[in-house]
A and B are shown apart, each in its own frame.
Chain A
Amino acid sequence: MKVVLHVWRQASASAAGKLVDYQADDISPDMSFLEMLDVLNERLIVRGEDPIAFDHDCREGICGSCGMMINGAAHGPMKLTTACQLHMRSFSDGDEIWIEPWRAKAFPVIKDLVVDRGAFDRIIQAGGFVSAPTGSAQDGNAIPIPKQAADDAMDAAACIGCGACVAACPNASASLFTAAKISHLGELPQGQPERMKRALAMVHQMDLETFGGCTLFGECQEACPKGISIDTIAQMNRDYIFAAATEREATDVLGSG
């Protein structure tokens, strides 16, 4: 099959970018979307042109590296699918395809379709962890966890941090990502001691990174390749409200005891 691509090309973070048209002929419908870009890149290299830069790693939909706006939708037209797991059979012969990087102030473009998602790492660093020493693995049932809590935590933990939620959000909000991380740990007993501190710190970092706020358009949930629900955002807000209402200044520890 043949497709016409309009790809965002930008030489560096500071350079001006623009959409460049490419004709991709002899594309197999069984190729993944990234394989199609690989084939195009090989042809570009043969012609002495700069190949299109894009992030990718596992190519099996679990690492969160790949991600681009394909025809105006994060990761393209298929639900619950990363760009690497999207196949050319989702398109028709002769289709025009627009490919753009994630757009957010907090995700500056590094080159072409590659953006810097370091903001996500800093949100995690702010509180997306459990700091109790865990030692060696415990017996599986040593800590009783309600089935529903385990399921909800697992669903939230499915987040691969790809940034599709930010890209799809009209406000470039990282609420779904942050909420997934807060819910994932907040549902489990091991996450309880730092639950309040975590909500305050991660939301604060999310704001510092210049992401927008949530207006519940629902676009993030639709774009998320892992199906994270906006229910996690209600959970984040609940934790945040409770944390803000109960927080106190750390008391000085003086004297003995």
Chain B
Amino acid sequence: MERAGLLRFWDSSVGKKVVMGATGLILVAFVILHMAGNLQFFSGSERFNAYSHLLQVDLIELTWLMRITLLGAVVLHITAAYQLTMRNRAARPAGYVKREPQVSTYAARTMRWGGVYLLLFIPYHILHFTTGTLHPAFVRRAAYGNVVIGFQVMWVALFYLGAMAFLGLHLYHGAWAMFRTLGIARPSNDPLHRRLALAIAIIVPAGFSLLPLSVMLGFMH
């Protein structure tokens, strides 16, 4: 039964993909801002704790608005991804004995499992650095110390770096695909080419990774 209006949009494969693209755009903007904010870690403890104070006290209403927006975006992004994946699997019940991917990138092929990794990482990351629930020595609003102590645990830092690797792959495909999905990409003679996405996919995870790496290597303490 065909539904009308927004429900019909949500029912269609194009509509769900557009929802993924639009929420993806929000999430890409967020990771860029989050990464830029994190780099203040290298300005030292006072500056970084002041930044944390700004977000958690002075601008708390704005922070909550952002959290709710992000939660909504993530829920829609994952719901659409899950439903589309199920449809896509059902669309080819009998596979090929021999199939050679011609141009699809490793990034495109790891979107789903990379997404699952990030889905495991994000709640852990919030419980680790935001609520402190899973942090060995969490001190409220002492963000600098929390980061240093947090990343001194080897497996935590490695789990974080793994998430950044998948984030990079996810961004390499996603930050390019979202503009095509939303229908705002300019026609191109080489539509598979992705310069902006490559820059985002390298700079964002690299910026994030500087924190655990600098702690692990003992530069920041």
Contacts and interface: CB of A to CB of B under 8 A. Distances in A.
A97 B12 CA distance: 38
Given A100-B97, A172-B91, A241-B182, A203 B12 contact: yes
B9 A73 contact: no
A200 B15 CA distance: 10
A91 B176 CA distance: 36
Contacts of A71: 98, 100
Nearest to B21: A237
Interface string B46-83: 00000000000000000000000000000000000000
A124 interface: no
A223 B181 CA distance: 20
Contact of B103 (A171, A214, A219): A219
Interface stretch (A22-30, A46-54, A101-109): A101-109
Interface stretch (B33-41, B137-145, B147-155, B183-191): B183-191
B85 to A, nearest CB: 9
A171 B108 CA distance: 12
A212 B14 contact: no
Interface in A109-138: none
A200 B6 CA distance: 12
A152 B183 CA distance: 16
Given A172-B92, A212-B92, A218-B104, A152 B187 contact: yes
Contacts of B183: 234-241
Contacts of B16: 213
Contacts of A216: 108, 173, 176-177, 180-181
A238 B14 CA distance: 10
Interface string A172-210: 110000000000000000000000000010011011001
B88 A212 contact: yes
B126 to A, nearest CB: 28
A62 interface: no
B72 to A, nearest CB: 19
Interface of A: 6, 8, 19, 69, 71-73, 98, 100, 103-106, 152, 168, 170-173, 200, 203-204, 206-207, 210-219, 221-223, 229-231, 233-241, 244, 247, 249
27 contacts: A8-B97, A103-B96, A105-B91, A168-B102, A173-B88, A212-B88, A213-B14, A213-B16, A214-B17, A214-B181, A215-B17, A215-B177, A216-B108, A216-B176, A216-B177, A217-B101, A217-B105, A219-B103, A229-B191, A231-B185, A234-B181, A237-B181, A237-B182, A239-B183, A241-B182, A244-B6, A247-B5
4 A-B pairs with least C-beta separation:
A238-B183, A212-B91, A213-B13, A72-B100
Interface of B: 2, 4-6, 8-9, 11-18, 84, 87-105, 108-109, 111, 173, 176-177, 179-185, 187-188, 191-192
